[in-house]
Chain A
Amino acid sequence: DVKVTQSSRYLVKRTGEKVFLECVQDMDHENMFWYRQDPGLGLRLIYFSYDVKMKEKGDIPEGYSVSREKKERFSLILESASTNQTSMYLCASSTGAGYYGYTFGSGTRLTVV
């Protein structure tokens, strides 16, 4: 079965900490994505990557960066966590064709205190 794995289900971090959210897929997908999900706002795209070492900003990139050194791994980095980054973070991957949309990870619920 195809898998997108997010390293942590729940995280609690302090304001100002550097936070790494890791995502690994085993489907050899070219495209990987990071979304954040907030009540009433749906899913909003933070960053995506269409190839190793390539990245593009989504709709809400401020306060975030990403890294994709290997095809299977896409990391989301909060350089200095703030309380307004408390949210559910979802990673996804897709093939180039995109017919079936995405395969999602199970999400990381991040709380910044």
Chain B
Amino acid sequence: AQKITQTQPGMFVQEKEAVTLDCTYDTSDQSYGLFWYKQPSSGEMIFLIYQGSYDEQNATEGRYSLNFQKARKSANLVISASQLGDSAMYFCAMRDYYGGATNKLIFGTGTLLAVQP
């Protein structure tokens, strides 16, 4: 069965520094997708970045980049130049193919990031 593991329940980072949030995954599929979501205290889930298993380059979106190491089955999120507004819960997720055009997302347990001034 597919599984996502986030081993860091909580992290601190100083404002303007970079931070890496860890994510490892387990799947027997050759084709899969990996996602990162941000959940502020308000509760909404905000899509940050996506990496396909066949993408040769690491995905980047502004200050977010995904460090994809396929052989190690890791998909770490790197946030550069942290801002106070980055304080939130971060979830790593993987697309689980159900059938036809349907996909489910499997989530990790999340990492709570606190940015300190």
Q: Which of A16-24, A66-74, A78-86, A100-108 is the contact stretch?
A: A100-108
Q: Interface residues of A, CB < 8 Å — how many?
A: 32
Asked if residues B101 and A97 are in contact (CB atoms below 8 Å), the reply is yes
Q: Interface residues of B, CB < 8 Å — how many?
A: 27
Question: In the complex, what's the smallest C-beta–C-beta distance from B26 to chain A, in angstroms?
Answer: 15
**For the complex of A and B, 7 pairs with smallest distance between CB atoms:** A96-B101, A98-B103, A104-B45, A42-B109, A43-B107, A50-B102, A107-B43
What would 5 more interface pairs be, CB under 8 Å, given A33-B105, A98-B33, A109-B43?
A30-B102, A31-B101, A42-B108, A92-B105, A101-B33
Residues on A lying within 8 angstroms of B by beta carbon are 30-31, 33, 35, 40-45, 48, 50, 56, 58, 88, 90, 92, 94-107, 109
